[in-house]
Amino acid sequence: MAISKNRTLRVRILVKAFPQPSKAHEETVCCAGISEDGTELLRLFPIRFRRLPKEHQFERFDLVEMTATKASDPRPESYRVDEASIRLLERDTLSDEAKVQLWQPFIAPSLKQLYADNRATNRSLDIFKPDPASIKFTVKPAKDADAADRAVAEQVRQMQQSSFLEDPLTPLEKPELAFGYRFTSAGILMIR
């Protein structure tokens, strides 16, 4: 009897990215979450979120169950999700304090430590604390955004590929604003 590589995951969702165009999947969303037992920070993909039945669409801090397989990439936290297995188990009922307790054990002391951990383990998903006085946010009209941001927005807007078996997705509106940030963490400057 063959050993299944599939694993049932119960995950509290922390982050759900903006849909990205995909030739193979129409559009996908990458999510990050923490295993229900609080021991693993997980990257979950590809999820065609807007194709999920409404009763299984989830938000931040919802508890979700899914079947997943360890992704073929070298990042230990990456799992390929069987989209049909996604089940919303519980809407967010956590207090603000419980939310902090959920992700607090995963805070790295600095970006420098994250880089060292990445070199040692290939882990690329983590949480760190920026130097508080260094955080600066920017907002500008999307027309003034960098070329990469504009290209993604245009791809998302134009994405119309769909299966003959599925209704076309409603096109996403082109963003009017572009957001950026800069901060330091233990002396390392990050700009986006």
Query: Half-sphere exposure of 153 toward its Cβ, with a 13 Å CA cutoff?
Result: 17
Domain boundary residue among 39, 73, 94? 94
Q: Are 78 and 137 within one domain? A: no
pLDDT of residue 175: 76
Instruction: Compute mean pLDDT per 10 residues along the chain, 192 residues long, and list them.
Output: 77 90 78 96 93 94 97 93 96 95 91 90 90 90 69 57 64 79 88 83
pLDDT of residue 140: 86
Q: Are 89 and 17 within one domain? A: yes
Q: Per DSSP, what are the bridge partners of residue 138?
A: 180
Alpha-carbon span 103 to 99, nearest angstrom: 7
Structure tokens at 106: 């995963």
Q: Tell me whether strands 41-47 and 78-90 are parallel, antiparallel or unpaired.
A: parallel
pLDDT of residue 187: 81
In what side-by-side order are the strands of the sheet with 177-185? Answer: 136-141, 177-185, 188-191
Domain count within the chain: 2
Q: Are 90 and 10 within one domain? A: yes
Domain encompassing residue 170: 132-191
pLDDT of residue 1: 46
Distance of CA 103 to the CA centre of its chain: 14
Is the pTM higher than 0.85? no
Alpha-carbon span 42 to 76, nearest angstrom: 9
Residue 26 lies in a domain: yes
Q: Are 16 and 72 within one domain? A: yes
Structure tokens at 161: 């590929």
Q: Tell me whether strands 127-128 and 107-108 are parallel, antiparallel or unpaired.
A: parallel
Q: Are 86 and 136 within one domain? A: no
Residue 124 lies in a domain: no
Domain boundary residue among 94, 109, 143? 94
Q: Which CATH number covers residue 20?
A: 2.40.50.140
Structure tokens at 14: 């922390």
Give backbone dihedrals phi and psi of 18, rounded to 5 degrees, phi first.
-65, 140
